[in-house]
Amino acid sequence: MPVLEPIAEKDLPLTRDLDLLAKVLADTIREQTGAATAERIDAIRELAFRYVQGDDPEAGRALARSLSSLDLDSTVALVRAFSYFSHLSNIAEDLHHNRRRRAHRMQGSAPQRGSISAAIEALVERNVKPQDILGLLGETLIAPVLTAHPTEVKRKTILDCHRAVAELLSERDRYAMTPEEEERNQAALERVLLTLWQTREIRTFKLTVQDEIENGSTYFRNTFLHEVPRLYLDLEDRLAELTGEAVTLPNFIHIGSWIGGDRDGNPFVTGEVLRYAVSRQSGIALDHYYQQLTKLENELSMSVRLVQVDQKLQDLAAQADHEGNRKGEEPYRLAVSYIRARVFATATQIGTFHHALHDVARAPVYQNASDLETDLDTVYNSLRSHGATKLAGGRLRRLLRCVSVFGFHLAPIDMRQNSGIHDRVMAELFDKAGLEDYLALDEHSRRKVLLRELASPRPLICPYVDYTAETQKEIDILHAAEAMQSKYGEAVLPNYIISNCESVSDILEVAVLMNEVGIVQLAPTVRCKINIIPLFEMIGDLRGCNQIMAELFAIPQWRQLLGARDLVQEVMLGYSDSNKDGGYLTSNWELYKAELNLVKVFEDAGFKMRLFHGRGGTVGRGGGPAYDAVRAQPPGSVNGQIRITEQGEVIAAKYADREVGRRNLEILIAATLEASYDTWPENFDPEERRRLMEGLSLRAYQAYRDLVFATPDFITYFREATLINEIPNLNIGSRPAARRNTNSIADLRAIPWVFSWSQCRLMLPGWYGFGTAIAEYLKDKGEEGVEVLRELYQSWPFFQVTISNMEMVLAKSDINIAARYAELVNDQDIARRIFGRIKDEWQRSVDAVRAITGHDELLGDNPMLARSLDNRLPYLDPLNHLQVELLKRLRGGDESEELRHAVHLTINGIAAGLRNSG
C-alpha cells in the first residue's frame, strides 16, 4: 500500500463521521456484552491497527495470539463488531462522496467527470452540435438491469438500518443543530445501532423468488421512481439552455429487471412466479402514482374565482364526485381526485399490494398508462394556460415523466433460459407431434425444420397432450408471457435471453416457441413483440459469435422479424463465465474482439446493434467503475445503445441512497453519450495493438487453463482452501450454486467461484495468468517492451481499464492471509504445490502492474481508494484469521449451529470490508 498523506481538510468531515460511528458502536458493544468483552475487542482493534498501518511484527504476533485464544462467544462478538465497523465505514464513505460533490457544486467548480454536464461540454468542445446530441438521444436506449444473482449477503432489514444511519449522518451534515437537536440525533443513532446489534445478520431461511422480487422493488420505491423523472427534467432543461428552445426527450433510460423472469438454473421461476412479479411491480408503480396524486390534489387549490381553467380541465373535473360541492370551485382538486380514483380502480384490478391503498370513489379503470398521461396532460396544459407554468413544472411534470417511463408495469422484465432446455423442449414437442427426431438433426437440418414450423399455421403445442414436467413448465411460462403482454403491453416483457447460445438454431428455437403463443409470427402478417437475444458466454462462443450472427442475418425470415423491431438486434456478452473459462486477460480481450467483429457484421447486414453487458460486481466478473468501462468499449460498439446488468451487492452500493443512485445513472448516460462519439486515438494502430494483445492473451490463457483445468488436484485445493462448500448454506439467493451436482469447475456457477476466491483474499479470477503473459513478453522484448506497455496504458482506454481494475483487485488481495487458507488443505503436498504456483503468479502480476503503471506501490494514483482500504484492513484482516480458525474447527467435526453461524458471520464481515462478494 502507498504511504498515505496526512488527512486533508476536505476529508475531516469523513473522519468526524467515522469517529462518531466508532464511538457509538463501541458504547453499544460495551452495554450489550459487558466491559470485559468490550475491552478485549478494543485491544484487538488497537493491535490490528498497529500491525496493518505500522507493519509492526510484534503487534502481528500479539494479534495472532489474541485471536487464537478467543472462546466462541468472544469470537462471535468480535466478528460482529468488526463487521459493523466495516459496514458503517462504507456508509460514511458514500456520504462523504455526496458531500464532496455538493461542495464542488456550491463552489461553482467545473462539472465533475462522469456527470451529464461534463459529457455535454466535452461533446460541444469536440464540435458536436446540441441538435446532434438531441438526435442521438432520440435513438438511445440505456438500461441498467437489476438481477437476483445471489451475491448480496446483507438482509433487507440490515439495509433498512443502514439507510437510517445514512439519513441521520446526512442530517448532522446539512443542518446547523442546537445542542439539543444534536443530542436527539445521537440518541436516534444509538437506537439504530442497538437495533443492528440485536438483529441477526444472517438469514435463517433461504430466499424465495418472491423475496427477491420484494427486495428488488425497494430500489424503485426509494430511488428510481423519484430520481429518474428528475434526471430527465434536468437534462431537458440543460439541453433547452443550449438549443434555445423547449426540449422534450423520449424515454431513453429504463431500469430493467431479471427478477422473476430469469429461470436459467433457477427451478423456482415458473409461470405463476412471472405473473406475480409483473403484478407486484404494477402495484408498486400505481401505489406511487396514487401517493403523488394525493399530494398533488392538496397542492392545486386554485379557485375558479381567481383563474380561468380550460374546457378540457372543466370536463375532467365534472366527472369527479363533488363531495357535496365541498370542492366545487376548485376544479383542479376535483380533476386530480378523479384521476386518483381511476388509478385506485386500476390498481385493484391489475396490481398486487402488500399495503392496502385508501379507498376512494368508484371510477372507471385506465386501459393503459397512455390514458393516464392524457388526463395528467389535461391538468398540465390548463395550468400553463393561466400563468401557472411554475406549478405545472413541479410535482405534476415529474409525475407525467414517471408515468411515461414506468407505465403500469414499473420495470421491463427480461426472460432468460438456457439453450439446452430449449433443445429438450423442442425435441419433445417434435416427438409428440410425430415429426423428426430433433436432437438427431445436424445444425443445417435443425434450421430448416425450425423455419418450417415458424411459417406453419399448424400449432406445435397441443393442449390435449401430456408433456414432461420440464416441457410443461416452459409451456406455462410462454402462456404467462403472452397473458402479461396482453394485459400490460409489450413493454412489460420486451426481452428473451438465450444463455449458452452456440448456434443459429438456438435462436430460432425461441422464435418457434414464441410463435406458439402469438408473440412472434410470420404469417399472415409479420409480428415480433419481443427481442430474442443470444448470450455468448464462453471463450469459444465469443470467438464464433460474429459468424453465428452473420448466418442469422442471412435468413430472410429473420430479417423480416427484425423489420418489426426497428431493425435493432440485441446481443448479450457474458463476462462471468468467459472469465471462469479463460481467465481475466483473455476474457477481457475476447469480449473486446467480439464487439469489434460484431460491429462489422451489423454494418454489413444493415442492422442496428445493441450490446447487453452481463457484468458482475467484482472485477473477476466484469465489474469495476462503470464510466471507465463504457468509455473503454471499442469505437462503433455503443452508438447510444447499451444495457448493463447490476448484480448482488452492487445494487445496494449504487442505488440504496438516492443521491448516489442519481449519480450512477448520470454516469451511465454521460459515458454512453461520450462513447457514442469515440474514435480511435491519434497515431493508434488497431492492428498492431491487436497483434500485441493477441499474444499476451494467448500466454495468459495457457497459464490460467493449465492451473484451473489441467492441474491434477486443483479442484481438491479449491474445495478445501476456499469456502465454496460453506457458501451455498448462506441463504443469499434462490438459485443453486451449481448447474449440476458434479465436482467440475465447468459446472460451478461463476458467482460462488469468484465469491470463494474473494473470501480467502486471493481474488484469483481477477489477475491469474497476467503475470506470466507479461513476464514472457518482457523476456522477449526487454526494456523496449516495458515502454510499449506503458504507452499502451497511457493511450488505450481498454488497456488502461483492464490494468486499473486488476490493480484494485491485487491491492485488496493478501498473499500472506491466503497462505493461511492453504493450511486448510488436508494433503499439504497438494497445498504447497498449488499454492506455490499461485503465489509466484501473484508476485509476477504485482510486478507487471507496477512496471506498466510506473507506480512504486499499488494504487499509487488512487489515494482515495488506498485510504479507504487502509481504514478497513485493521477490521478485515482479523476476520480472515478468525475465519480460518473457525473453518478448522468446523471441518474437524464440530458442526454446532453456533460455530456454523460464526463462520457465516465472518463471510458477511469480509464481504463488507472488501465491498465485493461475487
| Contact residues for 820 (Cβ-Cβ < 8 A; gap 6+) | 880, 881, 884
- Please confirm, yes or no, whether 593 is among the known catalytic residues: no
Among 87, 96, 149, 409, the active-site one is: 149
CB 810 within 8 A of CB 883: no
With both helix axes pointing from N to C terminus, report the angle between 331-350 and 311-318 in degrees, rounded to the nearest 10.
60
Q: Which of 422, 580, 654, 881 is catalytic?
A: 580
SS3 per residue for 36-103: HHHHHHHHHHHHHHHHHHHCCHHHHHHHHHHHHCCCHHHHHHHHHHHHHHHHHHHHHHHHHHHHHHHH
Q: What sign for the dihedral angle of Cα 107, 111, 112, 115? A: positive
Neighbours of 268 (CB within 10 A): 15
Pairing, β 520-521 against β 527-528: antiparallel
How many angstroms separate the Cα of 857 from the Cα of each of 52, 619, 849, 862, 871?
A: 16, 20, 9, 11, 17
d(CA 228, CA 587): 33
Q: Which amino acid is at 897?
A: E
3-state secondary structure of 916: coil
Cis peptide before 556 (omega within 30 of 0): no
Pairing of strands 527-528, 414-418: unpaired
Radius of gyration of the chain (CA): 29
Instruction: Give the separation between CA 453 and CA 523, rounded to whole angstroms.
Output: 11
The DSSP bridge partners found for residue 527 are 521
Would you call 855 a catalytic residue per the annotation? Answer: no
Task: Give DSSP secondary structure letters for 565-585.
Answer: TTTEEEEEEESHHHHHHH-HH
Do the Cβ atoms of 724 and 745 come closer than 8 Å?
Answer: no
The β-bridge partners of 614 are 574
Q: For residues 789 and 851, is the Cβ–Cβ distance under 8 A?
A: yes
Helix, strand, coil fractions of the chain, as percent rounded to 5: 65, 5, 30
Decide: 818 and 835 in contact? Cβ < 8 Å.
yes
- Distance, in Å, from the CA atom of 760 to the CA atom of 815, rounded to the nearest integer, reads 9
Q: Burial of 387 by CB count in 10 Å (0-12 exposed, 13-18 middle, 19+ buried)?
A: exposed
DSSP 569-628: EEEEEESHHHHHHH-HHHHHHHHHHHHHHHHHHHHHHT-EEEEEEE--SSGGGT-S-HHH
Alpha carbon distance 515, 690 (integer Å): 42
* Distance separating alpha carbons of residues 826 and 892, to the nearest angstrom: 11
Q: Which residues contact 537 (CB under 8 A, 6 or more apart)?
A: 499, 500, 573, 574, 576, 577, 578, 581, 614
Distance, CA of 149 to CA of 153 (rounded, Å)? 11
Active site residues: 149, 580
